[in-house]
A and B are shown apart, each in its own frame.
Chain A
Amino acid sequence: EADIYQTPRYLVIGTGKKITLECSQTMGHDKMYWYQQDPGMELHLIHYSYGVNSTEKGDLSSESTVSRIRTEHFPLTLESARPSHTSQYLCASSEGTRKIQETQYFGPGTRLLVL
């Protein structure tokens, strides 16, 4: 079973606030990802990282930023939350060695509501 953690699990916040969603994994995985998922919809990639000091934007422009200072930690920051940011945010990681059976492991998610 994968060890990937997200906090907070639920967050209700007012418009304009700055928030940081935390994601940590204890598996030593090089690759980490952030996805956004609206209820009943598919996942959209918003950021990914191949390792320390490596970050890339995904297909969905979410007005968020990420950092990767340590292998195990990949926080996502919204500088100014808006109601359009209301969604579920899923963090994932994978080993990054292109092993045959490599897969992405997902955290439990953070449900964000911006009022």
Chain B
Amino acid sequence: ELKVEQNPLFLSMQEGKNYTIYCNYSTTSDRLYWYRQDPGKSLESLFVLLSNGAVKQEGRLMASLDTKARLSTLHITAAVHDLSATYFCAVEGQAGTALIFGKGTTLSVSS
């Protein structure tokens, strides 16, 4: 059974600081996704990472994938308040079935 674990589950940061969110998954998968969810809102796609160890960056967020370690990281650089949200990683199940989500990391950035 495919399981996805994120840590930390809650993260309180000061503006301007750097931090990394970790996502481990239990079995081989074709691709890994990162989503953002604001309170009371739906999910917004941030990154799609393929099994070839891609690294992607968008603004202050950078995601990477280590398929051997079954680990993805979401690195936050110089955090700003607007990044406060819950971040989910998700892994595709067998043969392109639906996504298995981690529990999410709730990020709070304060000045």
In the complex, chain B residues whose CB is within 8 Å of the CB of A98: 96
A90 and B35 alpha carbons, distance in the complex (Å): 14
Main SS class of interface, A: loop
Question: Are B33 and A104 interface neighbours, CB within 8 A?
Answer: yes
In the complex, chain A residues whose CB is within 8 Å of the CB of B101: 35, 42-44
* Complex partner residue of B99 from A40, A41, A96, A104, CB under 8 angstroms: A104
A75 and B96 alpha carbons, distance in the complex (Å): 22
Q: Does B45 sit at the interface, judged by CB under 8 A?
A: yes
Among the stretches B14-22, B62-70, B72-80, B102-110, the one at the interface with A is B102-110
Q: Interface residues of B, CB < 8 Å — how many?
A: 22
Main SS class of interface, B: strand
A103 and B101 alpha carbons, distance in the complex (Å): 14
Interface string of A34-75 (1 = CB under 8 A from B): 010000111111001000000000100000000000000000
Question: Are A90 and B43 interface neighbours, CB within 8 A?
Answer: yes
Interface string of A72-99 (1 = CB under 8 A from B): 0000000000000000001010001010
Interface centre among B42, B44, B104 (most CB of A within 10 A): B42
In the complex, chain B residues whose CB is within 8 Å of the CB of A35: 98, 101
In the complex, chain A residues whose CB is within 8 Å of the CB of B100: 45
8 A-B pairs with C-beta separation under 8 A: A31-B96, A40-B86, A42-B102, A43-B88, A103-B45, A104-B45, A104-B98, A108-B41
The 6 A-B residue pairs whose C-beta atoms are closest, nearest first, are A106-B43, A42-B101, A43-B101, A106-B42, A45-B98, A42-B103
